[in-house]
Amino acid sequence: MALNLVMQLGEWNPQMFRELKGRLKPRNILITVAISLVGQLLVLMSFSSQLPDADNPDVPYNRYCTGGASSNYSLPTCLRDAFGGYLINWQLWWKDVFVWLSIIGIFALLVVGTYMLISDLSKEEHRGTLNFLRLTPQSSMSILTGKLLGVPILLYLVGFLALPLHLAAGLSGEVPLSQILTYYAILGASCLFFYSVALLFGLVGNWLGGFQAWLGSGAVLIFLWGLMVMVLGNHKVTQYPTDWLMLFNPAILLPYLIGSNSLDATNPSYASGLRDFSWFGLPIGASVWSLAASMVLNYGLWTYWFWQGLKRCFHNPSATLLGKQQSYWLTASFEAVILGFALNPEIGEWRNNPKALFDNFQILLVFNLQLFLCLIAALSPHRQILQDWARYRHQNRSSRKGGLMADLIWGEKSPALEAVALNVTIAFAILAPWILLWPENQYKIPALWALLLNLSLIIVYAAIAQLMLFMKTPKRAALAAATVGLLVVLPPVIFGLLSMTPTKNAGVWLFSAFPWAAVEHATSTAVFLVIIGQSLMLGLLNLQLTRQLRQAGESSTKAMLSGRPPVAIQ
Amino acid sequence: MAKELAIDTRGLTKQFDRHIAVNDVDLQIEAGAVYGLIGPNGAGKTSLIRMLAAAEEPTIGEIYINGDRLLRDDSNPTLKRRLGYLPDDYPLYDDLTVWDYLDYFGRLYRLQEPRRRRRLQEVLELVQLTNKRNSAIATLSRGMKQRLSLARTIIHEPIVLLLDEPVSGLDPIARMQFREIIKTLQEAGMTILISSHVLSDLAELCTSIGIMELGYLVESASLEEFYRRLSRQQIFLSSLGKLDVLQAELKNNPLVEDWEVLPETGRMRIHFSGGQEDCATLLRSLISAGVPLTEFHCTQEDLETIFLKLGHQQAS
Domains of chain B: 5-228 (3.40.50.300), 232-300 (3.30.70.100)
Is residue A76 within 8 Å of residue A61, measured between CB atoms? yes
Tell me, yes or no, whether A253 and A108 share the same domain.
yes
Q: A275 or B234: which carries more pLDDT confidence? A: B234
Cα–Cα distance for residue pair A216/A434, rounded to 1 Å: 36
The answer to whether residue A309 is domain-embedded is no
Q: Across the strands, what pairs with B191?
A: B160
The answer to whether residue A78 is domain-embedded is no
pLDDT band of residue A98 (cuts 50, 70, 90) is very high
In tens, the pLDDT along B177-213 reads: 888 888 998 998 899 999 988 888 888 889 999 999 8
Mutate to test the interface with B, among A18, A23, A307, A554 (most CBs of B within 10 A): A18
CA–CA min distance B172, chain A (Å): 28
Cα–Cα distance for residue pair B151/A324, rounded to 1 Å: 41
pLDDT for position A397: 57
Tell me, yes or no, whether A109 and A246 share the same domain.
yes
Flag if B95 and A569 touch (Cβ within 8 Å).
Answer: no
Q: A510 or B27: which carries more pLDDT confidence? A: B27
pLDDT for position B228: 80
Cα–Cα distance for residue pair A254/A242, rounded to 1 Å: 19
User: Is the pLDDT reported for residue A393 higher than 80?
Assistant: no
ipTM (interface pTM): 0.83
Region B136-157 average pLDDT: 90
pLDDT for position B117: 93
Contacts of B55 in chain A (CB under 8 A): 131, 134-135
Tell me, yes or no, whether A265 and A328 share the same domain.
no
CA–CA min distance B293, chain A (Å): 51
CA–CA min distance A146, chain B (Å): 11
In tens, the pLDDT along A66-75 reads: 877 766 667 7
Q: A472 or A262: which carries more pLDDT confidence? A: A472
The answer to whether residue A170 is domain-embedded is yes
pLDDT for position B177: 85
Residue B90 Rama label (left phi>0; alpha psi -120 to 50; beta): beta
pLDDT for position B169: 76
CA–CA min distance A546, chain B (Å): 18
Q: Last residue of a domain, which of A304, A333, A353?
A: A304
- Supply the range of the domain harboring residue A351: 318-561
Both ends of chain B: CA-CA distance in Å? 42
Q: Last residue of a domain, which of A271, A304, A337?
A: A304
User: Is the pLDDT reported for residue A108 higher than 60?
Assistant: yes
Do strands B160-164 and B34-38 pair parallel, antiparallel, or not at all (unpaired)?
Answer: unpaired
The answer to whether residue A81 is domain-embedded is no
Give me the number of domains chain A comprises. 2
Q: Last residue of a domain, which of A304, A331, A363?
A: A304
Please state, rounded to an integer, the average pLDDT across all residues of chain A: 85
Cα–Cα distance for residue pair B287/B238, rounded to 1 Å: 12
User: Is the pLDDT reported for residue A307 higher than 60?
Assistant: yes
Cis previous bond, B58, omega within 30: no
pLDDT for position B148: 92
Burial of A217 (0-12, 13-18, 19+ CB in 10 A): buried
3-state secondary structure chain B: CCCCEEEEEEEEEEEECCEEEEEEECCEEECCCEEEEECCCCCCHHHHHHHHCCCCCCCEEEEEECCEECCCCCCCHHHHCCEEEECCCCCCCCCCEHHHHHHHHHHHCCCCCCHHHHHHHHHHHHCCCHHHCCCEHHHCCHHHHHHHHHHHHHCCCCCEEEEECCCCCCCHHHHHHHHHHHHHHHHCCCEEEEECCCHHHHHHHCCEEEEEECCEEEEEEEHHHHHHHHCCEEEEEEECCCHHHHHHHHHHCCCEEEEEEECCCCEEEEEECCCHHHHHHHHHHHHHCCCCEEEEEEEECCHHHHHHHCCCCCCC
pLDDT for position B121: 94
Tell me, yes or no, whether A291 and A328 share the same domain.
no
pLDDT band of residue B314 (cuts 50, 70, 90) is very low
Which segment of A305-309, A376-380, A505-509 scores lowest on mean pLDDT?
A: A505-509
Region A199-217 average pLDDT: 86
Contacts of A320 in chain B (CB under 8 A): none
Tell me, yes or no, whether A414 and A480 share the same domain.
yes
Region A495-503 average pLDDT: 85
SS3 A564: coil
- Nearest 5 degrees, angle CA B282-CA B287-CA B289? 95
Which segment of A295-299, A308-312, A521-525 scores lowest on mean pLDDT?
A: A521-525
Region A271-295 average pLDDT: 82
Q: B18 or A380: which carries more pLDDT confidence? A: A380
Query: Which of A129, A387, A569 comes nearest B93 by C-beta?
Result: A129
User: Is the pLDDT reported for residue A155 higher than 90?
Assistant: yes
pLDDT for position A564: 57
List of long-range contacts for A109-112, beta carbons under 8 Å, 24+ apart = A109/A152, A109/A155, A109/A159, A109/A187, A109/A191, A110/A190, A110/A191, A110/A194, A110/A220, A110/A224, A111/A217, A111/A220, A111/A221, A111/A224, A112/A152, A112/A155, A112/A217
The answer to whether residue A293 is domain-embedded is yes
> Which of B263, B254, B257 has the alpha carbon at shortest distance from B235?
B257
Which segment of A109-123, A388-402, B114-128 scores lowest on mean pLDDT?
A: A388-402
Contacts of B16 in chain A (CB under 8 A): 384
Contacts of A316 in chain B (CB under 8 A): 57, 72-73
Mutate to test the interface with B, among A132, A397, A551 (most CBs of B within 10 A): A132
Region B55-65 average pLDDT: 89
Is residue A414 within 8 Å of residue A399, measured between CB atoms? yes
The answer to whether residue A281 is domain-embedded is yes
Do strands B34-38 and B191-195 pair parallel, antiparallel, or not at all (unpaired)?
Answer: parallel
pLDDT for position A77: 80
Q: A64 or A347: which carries more pLDDT confidence? A: A64
User: Is the pLDDT reported for residue B311 higher than 70?
Assistant: no
- State which amino acid sits at residue A565: P
CB-based contacts of B217, cutoff 8 Å, min separation 6: B25, B26, B27, B210, B211
Q: B240 or A374: which carries more pLDDT confidence? A: A374
pLDDT band of residue A440 (cuts 50, 70, 90) is confident
Region A123-145 average pLDDT: 89
pLDDT for position A33: 96
Region A155-184 average pLDDT: 94
Cα–Cα distance for residue pair A330/A336, rounded to 1 Å: 10
Which segment of A472-486, B121-135, B162-176, B301-315 scores lowest on mean pLDDT?
A: B301-315
pLDDT band of residue B1 (cuts 50, 70, 90) is very low
Tell me, yes or no, whether A244 and A350 share the same domain.
no
Contacts of B104 in chain A (CB under 8 A): 14, 17-18, 21
pLDDT for position A348: 46
pLDDT band of residue A150 (cuts 50, 70, 90) is very high
Looking at residue A414, the DSSP 8-state letter turns out to be: S
The answer to whether residue A47 is domain-embedded is no
Tell me, yes or no, whether A297 and A323 share the same domain.
no
Which segment of A15-24, A75-84, A176-185 scores lowest on mean pLDDT?
A: A75-84
Cα–Cα distance for residue pair A538/A456, rounded to 1 Å: 9
Tell me, yes or no, whether A457 and A491 share the same domain.
yes
User: Is the pLDDT reported for residue A407 higher than 90?
Assistant: no
User: Is the pLDDT reported for residue A352 higher than 70?
Assistant: no
pLDDT band of residue B224 (cuts 50, 70, 90) is confident
Minimum CA–CA partner of A554 in chain B: B18
Tell me, yes or no, whether A360 and A226 share the same domain.
no
Tell me, yes or no, whether A341 and A278 share the same domain.
no
pLDDT for position B316: 38
In tens, the pLDDT along A473-484 reads: 888 888 999 999
Query: Which of A131, A395, A567 comes nearest B60 by C-beta?
Result: A395
Tell me, yes or no, whether A224 and A323 share the same domain.
no
Flag if A137 and B109 touch (Cβ within 8 Å).
Answer: yes
Tell me, yes or no, whether A379 and A258 share the same domain.
no
The answer to whether residue A568 is domain-embedded is no
Flag if A136 and B105 touch (Cβ within 8 Å).
Answer: yes
Cα–Cα distance for residue pair B28/A411, rounded to 1 Å: 31
Is residue A135 within 8 Å of residue B80, measured between CB atoms? yes
DSSP secondary structure of A28-55:
HHHHHHHHHHHHHHHHHHHHHTTSPPTT
Q: Does B74 touch chain A (CB under 8 A)?
A: yes
